[in-house]
C-alpha cells in the first residue's frame, strides 16, 4: 500500500470511530450530546451576561459627553457585539441518511457551528512591522509589510486558503501577521480539540478540491465550508484519536522513509550489477568455458560482410541510375528514382565498425572485448513531435495504428506506461519515425534527460525528445542495460548543454561502449534479467 493511501485509510478509520472502539468501551459515560448540551447552556449564560454589559455600555454611551470617553464606549460596544455574535449554540443534526455510520455517542454537526471563519481584528497603529500572511509567504516566500489595519493572525492559528487552485488547503501560522485577501482564519469552539480538527479537515481535503466554484479563479464557497456536516466525538475521545493518529501517521512516515531508503539501496544494487556486467565480472565463467570467442574476430567478419553488401548495393545503384537515364516513361522513371533513394539509404547504413585502440580506456575490460563507438553498433535517431491540433483531431482515442510514446510514458523504473493514450493511424505513419520492437528509447532532452529509458516490445512512434537505439551489431537488450549504467550517465551528464538541458544524438554516437562477443552479450543480459528480477523483491509497494 502506498504511504498516502495508508494515511487516508487511517484518517477514514479515525473519523468513523474505528480507531477508538476500545476507548469507548472503557469510557462508556462519555457522550457528545451531553457535552453539546452543557456547552449550549454555558453559551446562553455567556450571551446573557454580554447582552447586559452591552446595554450598560450603550446607556453610558448616550449619557457621556466627553469625546474620548464616547470613543472608548463605542469601541467596547463594537467588541461586545462581536462577542455576542460568536455565542452560537450547537444543534446536533438529525440525519435520516448520514454520510456514513458513526458511534452512537458521537454527534453530526455543521462545521460552521463549531468553527468561526473570521477576518481578524483592527490592529493598533503602533503594531510593529509584521509579515503579510499570504499563500506565498506561508510556503517560504514573501516580504514583511507594515499595515494600519487588516486581517490578523497569531502564532499557531489555523488558516484556510479560500481562492485559487489550492483552495481548501490548511496552514498553521508560525508567527504573528496580517492575513492576505485569499486566506481566512479558523477559530474552533471549546467542544473541538484543535489537533483533531486538523485531522478532520485533512479528511475533507479532496471534498474541498472537488467542490470549488468559478472557472477563471477557482474558490471555496464560505457557505459550503460552514454547512459541511462532520462527526463530532466527545472531547476526551477526540484527544485519544489525536494521540493514536500522531503515532500511526508517524509510523506511516517512517514507513515512507524506509521505502525511500530501500529504493536507494535498490538503485545502488542496480548500478553495481551494471558495473560488474560492463567490466566482464558477471561473465567470467562463461569466458572460461568459451575461450575462443572474440569481439575482434566477430567485428572483422561483420566488416567483411558489410563491404560485400555495400559492393552489391553500389552495383545495383549504378544499374538503376543507368536505366533511369535511358528510361522515358514518367511512371517508370519515378519508380527508378524511388529505388535509387532506397539503395542510397541502405549504402549509408553499411558502416564498418572500427575497434578503438585506447591508450587510456574508461575502465579495464576483458581482452576478448573491444571498445567501440555507440554509433557504430546502433542506428541512433530522434522522433517526431505532435502539435495540439493534430493530437485533438486525429490521434486521441484511436483504436488502430501504432502507440505514440512521449517522455511521460517512460517511467523511472524503465517501464512504459502509454499514459497519453495516443495512437498514430496507419495513414499518418509515413510522417513519423518508427522505433521497432527490441530497440531502446532514451529521453535526451529536459528534466528527465539521460534518466528515463525503456525497452520496446512492439513497434511504436515516439516524440522528438526521445532517442531510439536500433541495434546493428549488438544483442538488443545489452545496449538497453548499458544506457542505464553509471558509465553512460557520467558521459551523458558531461555533455548536457542548452537552456532546456540535453545531449544531441550526434554527440551520443561518439560515446564509447565496451563490446563483448555476441554470445557473451546474450549471457550477460540473461544474468542481469535474473538478478534484476530478484532485486525487485526489495520493493515495498
Residues 61, 141: one domain?
yes
In three-state secondary structure terms, 214 is coil
Residue 296 confidence (pLDDT): 95
Task: Look at residue 424 and tell me if it is in a domain.
Answer: yes
CA distances from 17 to 13, 109, 248 (A): 6, 15, 15
The SS3 call for residue 219 is strand
Task: Give me the long-range contacts of 175-178 (CB less than 8 A, separation at least 24).
Answer: 175/130, 175/131, 176/130, 177/130, 177/131, 177/132, 177/133, 177/137, 177/152, 177/153, 178/120, 178/123, 178/130, 178/131, 178/132, 178/133, 178/145, 178/147, 178/150, 178/151, 178/152, 178/153
Q: Are residues 201 and 52 in the same domain?
A: yes
Contacts of 24 (CB under 8 A, 6+ apart): 17, 30, 103, 105, 237
d(Cα 335, Cα 342) in Å, to the nearest integer?
11
Local structure of 4: helix, strand or coil: helix
DSSP type of residue 541: -
Shared domain for 319 and 383, answered yes or no, is no
Written as nine digits, the cell of 506 is: 550526434
DSSP state string for 158-207:
EEEE-BSTTTT-EEE-SS-EEEPTTEEEEEE-TTS-HHHHHHHHHHTHHH
Ordered strands of the 130-133 beta sheet:
144-145, 130-133, 177-179, 151-153
* Verdict on whether the full-model pTM lies above 0.75: no
How many structural domains comprise the chain?
Answer: 3
CA 175 to chain CA mean position, Å: 31
Confidence (pLDDT) at 205: 82
pLDDT at 475: 87
Residue 245 lies in a domain: no
* C-alpha radius of gyration, the chain, whole number: 36
Q: Residue 134 domain-assigned?
A: yes
Both 341 and 398 in a single domain? no
Domain shared by 344 and 412, yes or no = no
Asked whether residue 51 falls in the same domain as residue 73, the answer is yes
For residue 483, give the CATH number of its domain: 3.90.220.20
Please give, one letter per residue, the 3-state secondary structure of 436-455.
CCCCEEEECECCCCCCCEEE
User: 207 is in which domain, residue-wise?
Assistant: 23-234
DSSP H helical ranges for 211-278 = 222-226, 235-278
Please indicate, yes or no, whether residues 189 and 58 belong to a single structural domain of this protein.
yes
Tell me if 195 is assigned to some domain: yes
Cα 146 to Cα 136, 156, 179, 183, distances in angstroms: 17, 21, 12, 18
427 CB contacts (<8 Å, ≥6 apart)?
none
**Cβ atoms of residues 131 and 177 within 8 Å:** yes
Q: Of 199, 234, 269, which residue sits at a domain end?
A: 234
| DSSP type of residue 267 | H
Q: Kindly state whether residues 85 and 224 are assigned to the same domain.
A: yes
pLDDT of residue 149: 45
Please check whether residue 521 lies inside any domain of the structure: no
- Residue 378 CA to its chain's centroid (Å): 33
Handedness of CA 293, 295, 300, 301 (dihedral sign): positive
With 0-12 / 13-18 / 19 or more C-beta atoms within 10 angstroms meaning exposed / middle / buried, residue 467 is buried
Q: Are residues 333 and 421 in the same domain?
A: no
The cell numbers describing 533, all together, are 528480477
Give the end of a domain, one of 179, 201, 234.
234
Dihedral sign from CA coordinates of 522, 527, 530, 535: negative
Predicted local confidence at residue 141, as pLDDT: 59
Helices (H), 350-475: 374-377, 388-390
Is 82 contained in some domain?
yes
Whether residues 374 and 445 fall in one domain: yes
Q: Are both 82 and 202 inside the same structural domain? A: yes
> What pLDDT is stored for residue 5 in this prediction?
79
Domain end, chosen from 234, 257, 280, is at 234
Query: What backbone torsions phi and psi does residue 221 show, to the nearest 5 degrees?
Result: -70, 130
Residue 59 within a domain: yes
d(CA 214, CA 205): 18
Considering the domain architecture, whether residues 210 and 137 belong to the same structural domain is answered as: yes
Does residue 462 form part of some domain?
A: yes
Main-chain phi, psi angles of 218, to 5 degrees: -60, 140
* Per-residue tens of pLDDT for the chain, all 541 residues: 577 778 888 888 899 999 999 999 999 999 999 999 999 999 999 999 999 999 999 998 888 888 888 889 888 999 899 889 888 899 998 877 788 899 999 999 998 889 888 775 544 444 556 666 666 666 665 555 544 445 678 888 888 887 777 777 888 888 887 777 778 888 888 888 899 998 888 888 888 877 877 766 777 788 888 888 999 999 999 999 999 999 988 888 888 787 788 778 878 888 999 999 999 999 999 999 999 999 999 999 999 999 999 999 999 999 999 988 888 888 888 898 999 999 998 998 888 999 998 787 889 999 999 999 999 999 999 999 887 767 666 777 777 889 999 998 998 777 888 877 788 888 888 889 999 999 999 999 998 999 999 999 999 999 999 999 999 988 889 999 999 999 999 999 999 998 888 999 999 999 999 999 999 999 999 999 998 887 666 555 5
10 Å CB burial of residue 29 (0-12, 13-18, 19+) is: exposed
Sequence-ordered list of residues with C-beta below 8 angstroms from that of 33, at least 6 positions apart, any chain:
92, 105, 107
Amino acid at each position: 500500500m502506498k504511504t498516502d493511501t495508508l494515511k487516508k485509510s487511517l484518517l477514514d478509520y479515525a473519523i468513523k470511530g474505528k480507531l477508538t472502539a476500545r476507548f469507548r468501551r472503557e469510557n462508556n459515560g462519555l457522550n457528545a450530546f451531553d457535552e453539546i448540551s452543557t456547552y449550549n447552556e454555558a453559551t446562553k449564560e455567556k450571551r446573557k451576561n454580554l447582552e447586559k454589559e452591552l446595554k450598560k455600555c450603550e446607556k453610558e454611551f448616550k449619557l457621556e459627553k466627553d469625546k474620548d470617553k464616547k470613543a472608548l464606549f463605542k469601541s467596547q460596544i463594537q467588541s461586545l457585539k462581536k462577542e455576542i455574535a460568536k455565542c452560537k449554540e450547537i444543534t446536533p443534526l438529525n440525519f435520516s441518511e448520514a454520510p456514513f455510520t458513526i458511534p452512537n455517542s458521537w454527534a453530526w454537526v455543521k462545521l460552521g457551528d463549531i468553527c468561526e471563519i473570521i477576518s481578524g481584528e483592527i490592529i493598533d497603529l503602533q503594531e510593529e512591522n509584521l509579515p503579510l500572511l499570504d499563500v506565498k509567504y506561508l510556503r517560504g516566500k514573501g516580504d514583511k509589510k507594515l499595515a494600519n489595519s487588516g486581517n490578523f493572525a497569531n502564532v499557531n492559528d489555523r488558516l484556510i486558503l479560500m481562492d485559487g487552485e489550492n483552495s481548501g488547503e490548511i496552514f498553521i501560522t508560525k508567527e504573528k501577521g496580517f492575513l492576505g485577501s485569499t486566506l481566512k482564519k479558523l477559530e474552533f469552539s471549546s467542544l473541538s480539540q484543535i489537533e483533531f480538527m486538523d485531522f478532520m479537515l485533512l479528511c475533507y481535503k479532496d471534498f474541498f478540491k472537488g467542490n470549488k466554484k468559478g472557472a477563471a479563479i477557482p474558490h471555496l464557497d464560505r457557505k459550503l465550508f460552514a454547512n459541511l456536516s462532520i462527526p463530532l466525538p466527545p472531547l476526551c475521545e477526540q484527544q485519544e484519536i489525536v494521540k493514536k493518529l500522531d503515532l500511526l501517521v508517524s509510523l506511516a512516515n517512517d514507513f515512507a522513509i524506509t521505502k525511500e531508503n530501500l529504493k536507494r539501496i535498490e538503485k545502488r544494487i542496480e548500478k553495481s550489477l551494471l558495473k560488474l556486467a560492463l567490466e566482464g565480472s558477471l561473465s567470467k565463467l562463461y569466458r572460461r568455458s568459451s575461450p575462443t570467442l572474440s569481439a575482434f574476430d566477430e567485428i572483422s567478419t561483420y566488416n567483411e560482410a558489410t563491404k560485400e553488401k555495400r559492393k552489391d548495393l553500389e552495383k545495383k545503384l549504378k544499374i538503376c541510375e543507368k536505366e533511369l537515364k535511358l528510361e522515358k516513361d514518367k511512371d517508370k522513371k519515378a519508380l527508378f528514382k524511388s529505388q535509387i533513394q532506397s539503395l542510397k539509404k541502405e549504402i549509408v547504413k553499411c558502416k564498418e565498425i572500427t575497434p578503438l585502440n585506447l591508450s587510456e580506456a574508461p575502465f579495464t575490460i576483458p581482452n576478448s572485448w573491444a571498445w567501440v563507438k555507440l554509433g557504430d553498433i546502433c542506428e541512433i535517431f530522434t522522433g517526431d513531435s505532435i502539435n495540439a491540433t493534430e493530437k485533438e483531431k486525429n490521434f486521441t482515442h484511436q483504436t488502430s495504428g501504432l502507440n505514440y510514446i512521449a517522455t511521460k510514458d517512460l517511467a523511472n523504473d524503465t517501464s512504459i506506461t502509454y499514459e497519453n493514450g495516443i495512437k498514430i493511424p496507419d495513414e499518418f505513419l509515413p510522417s513519423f519515425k518508427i522505433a521497432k520492437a527490441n530497440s531502446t528509447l532514451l529521453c535526451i532532452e529536459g528534466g528527465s534527460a539521460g534518466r528515463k529509458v525503456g525497452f520496446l516490445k512492439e513497434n511504436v512512434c515516439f516524440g522528438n525528445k526521445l532517442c531510439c537505439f536500433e541495434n546493428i551489431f549488438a544483442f538488443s537488450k545489452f545496449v538497453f542495460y548499458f544506457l542505464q549504467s553509471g558509465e553512460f550517465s557520467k558521459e551523458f551528464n558531461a555533455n548536457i548543454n542548452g537552456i532546456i538541458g540535453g545531449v544531441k544524438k550526434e554527440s551520443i554516437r561518439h560515446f564509447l561502449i565496451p563490446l563483448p562477443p555476441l554470445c557473451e552479450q546474450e549471457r550477460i543480459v540473461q544474468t542481469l534479467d535474473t538478478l534484476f528480477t530478484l532485486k525487485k523483491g526489495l520493493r515495498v509497494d
